[in-house]
C-alpha cells in the first residue's frame, strides 16, 4: 500500500485504494459493535429485566438480518453511495435521539426504537459494505465484468478456505 502511494499504478489508482481503505476503516468506527454485543447490558441500564433484555437482543438481531437482506435486494437498484449516505444520516439522528433520552433519564420504548432504527440504518448501508467485502468494483469504472467476476470468485474461495475442519 505504501509503495502504491509513492508510485501510483495506472490501472489501479491510489485514490481508489485510499477510498476503499477509508470506507473500511469508517465502517469499524460507526459503533455497531457496541449495539450488537452490549445490547442486553444497555437494555438492563434502561430498566429492563434480564429476560426482557435478552428478548430485545433477539429483536435487534432480527432487525439486523431483515434489513441486511433488504439491502442486498435494493443495492443494485439504488446504488451503494445513496444507501451509505442515507444510512449514515439515519444512524446519526437515531444516536443523537438515543443520547438525548439517556441524558434526560427518559429511557423506555423510545430508546429501544432508536436502537432498532440505528441497527436498521447500519444494516442497510455500512453493514452491506462489510458483507460485500473490500472489493468495490464501482469505485473503478475502468474494470469490466471480468473484474467483478474475479472479485466474486475471490470471495467464494476465501469462504471455502475459512470453513472449520470437520475432524
Tell which phi-psi region holds residue 133, choosing left (phi > 0), alpha (psi between -120 and 50) or beta: left
The tally of CA atoms less than 13 A away on the side-chain side of residue 25 is 6
Predicted pLDDT at 121: 93
Query: Beta partners for 21?
Result: none
Predicted pLDDT at 166: 46
Q: Are 118 and 91 a contacting pair, CB within 8 Å?
A: yes
Mean pLDDT, consecutive 10-residue segments, the chain of 167 residues?
A: 59 70 80 82 80 84 91 86 89 93 86 91 82 47 49 46 45
Instruction: For residues 138 and 78, give the distance between their C-alpha atoms in angstroms, rounded to a whole number.
Output: 13
Q: Is the pTM of the predicted complex or chain greater than 0.85? A: no
What is each CA distance from 59 to 47, 56, 112, in whole angstroms? 17, 5, 10
Amino acid at each position: 500500500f505504501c509503495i502504491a502511494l509513492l508510485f501510483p499504478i495506472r490501472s489501479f489508482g491510489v485514490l481508489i485504494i485510499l477510498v476503499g481503505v477509508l470506507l473500511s476503516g469508517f465502517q469499524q468506527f460507526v459503533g455497531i459493535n457496541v449495539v450488537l454485543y452490549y445490547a442486553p447490558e444497555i437494555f438492563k441500564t434502561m430498566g429492563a429485566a434480564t429476560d426482557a433484555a435478552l428478548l430485545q437482543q433477539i429483536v435487534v438481531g432480527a432487525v439486523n438480518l431483515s434489513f441486511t437482506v433488504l439491502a442486498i435486494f435494493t443495492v443494485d437498484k439504488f446504488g451503494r453511495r445513496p444507501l451509505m449516505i442515507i444510512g449514515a444520516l439515519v444512524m446519526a439522528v437515531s444516536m443523537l435521539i438515543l443520547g438525548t433520552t439517556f441524558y434526560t433519564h427518559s429511557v423506555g420504548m423510545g430508546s429501544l426504537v432508536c436502537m432498532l432504527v440505528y441497527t436498521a440504518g447500519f444494516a442497510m448501508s455500512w453493514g452491506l459494505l462489510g458483507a460485500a467485502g473490500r472489493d468495490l468494483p464501482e469505485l473503478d469504472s475502468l474494470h469490466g465484468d471480468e473484474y467483478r467476476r474475479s472479485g466474486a470468485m475471490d470471495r467464494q474461495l476465501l469462504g471455502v478456505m475459512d470453513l472449520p475442519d470437520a475432524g
